[in-house]
Amino acid sequence: MLQASLIIARRDFSAILFSRSFFFFLLGPLFPLIIGVVAGSVSNKVESAAARPVLGLAMTASDAKAMIAAGKALEGGLGNAAPEMTIIRSVSPGEKIDAAQVLKEQRGNIAAMLTGSPRAPLLTGTEGQIAQWRGPVSLIAAQALGNGPQTFPEVALASTATSTASERTGRMRTAQAGQTLLFLLTMMLAGMVLSNLVEEKANKIIEVLAAAVPMDAVFFGKLFAMLAVSFVGIAVWGSVFGGAAMLSGQSLSMFVTPAVGWPLFIALGVTYFAMAYLLLGSVFLTIGSMASTVREVQTLSMPVTMSQLVVFFFASFAAAQQGSMLAFAAEAFPLSSPFAMLARAAQDGAVMPHLLALGWQAVWVALFVRYGAKLFRSRVMKSGPASVKPKRSLFARLARDSGSPAATHAG
């Protein structure tokens, strides 16, 4: 099986790579690039709605309750400028707390810390965030003291390099970018499997291959050949776009470093692309084996393409809810698993779940190919169990022969 698959893969890879149409195929990403820009703007809107920054309080119990009550009282007047506050730690009078250290502990979606007291509040966080909250916090502190609009406490500021909220927001942006790139590459490249199989069916080549080697080997060989061609195309596109990005002064620094680090994230991205391609390609192979013309291919593949869009949106929505049942469902469903797991790599540093996910996806690739080959044999090659006609009994054949014209003449 393995030897036959490698022979088919080498044959298809050489035939496609050295064809004249492969050059025009390399020009294809110029059009999806425009779609990628539009999808990126939509992802930014999803990201901004997914993570609302929170102001953590580390005060005495009475001061913290007074600040929260004052914030709720002024919520209508402040509108979106009112920070959402939560008590991180109750301290005793005179106790000092390292607010910067609390931010490094990554407790929830904490964007800044408020310490001290309503009379002398200290706001610690990133420079832009504390500058935005300085006025509302002073107003809330005045309300908590009962000063009304007469006097407002001076809010001291202590800036830090980063915070939990900014880091989570940045990692969410990295996850969305990785998912979008993975989806565009998969949808653009997986269609080659369809055209290749339909062309060989029209030329009767597939029948020769099916007579020489097992049909499972033909399917696996074609999948891995197309995957290898896809990697060649990605290498060319990556060199061109990477060089253009370097010349324009852009780099990966524009994205926040993913939780697993850039080297492992890129390696997982390549691996999850391979699994997503094999999963979708195996479905397309089954469709191509059932179609006889290009029109039939378009008709049958359209529902799969639209459903894949739904799968992508499902995985994108689940990426903003890590740890929930929805995220687990997206990671377990075979077709959405590569997208959901790549987003998880950007937000969670654990490595073992990726090993389990890759094994799970490989099992489904084998099942899809097995079912597609069986369906092709039974429906197209007419060699499966569904196409075997029941044998007639001896008496039925004698009765049939006796009623034939030749038997009557002989009688």
pTM score: 0.64
Phi, psi at 323, each rounded to 5°: 90, -10
**Which residues make beta-bridge pairs with 141?**
none
User: b or e along 268-283 (b: 16 or more beta carbons within 10 Å of the residue's beta carbon)?
Assistant: bbebbbbbbbbbbbbb
The pLDDT value recorded for residue 408 is 44
Pairing of strands 121-126, 156-160: parallel
pLDDT for 78: 77
What's residue 269's pLDDT? 93
pLDDT of residue 167: 67
d(CA 283, CA 279): 7
Residues composing the chain: 411
Whole-number pLDDT of residue 395: 43
pLDDT at position 28: 66
Per-residue pLDDT of the chain (411 residues; tens, 9 = 90+): 888 888 888 888 888 888 877 777 777 665 665 565 556 555 555 555 455 678 889 899 999 999 999 888 888 777 777 788 888 888 888 788 888 877 777 556 788 889 988 888 998 888 777 888 888 898 898 888 886 556 777 887 776 655 555 667 778 888 888 999 899 889 888 877 776 776 777 677 777 777 788 888 888 888 899 899 899 988 888 887 777 767 766 667 677 888 898 899 999 999 999 999 999 888 887 777 676 666 776 677 778 778 888 999 999 888 888 888 999 999 999 999 999 999 999 988 899 999 999 999 999 999 998 888 887 777 655 544 444 444 444 445 445 555 544 444 444
In the chain the first and final C-alpha atoms are separated, in Å, by 55
163 in Cβ contact with 331 (< 8 Å): no
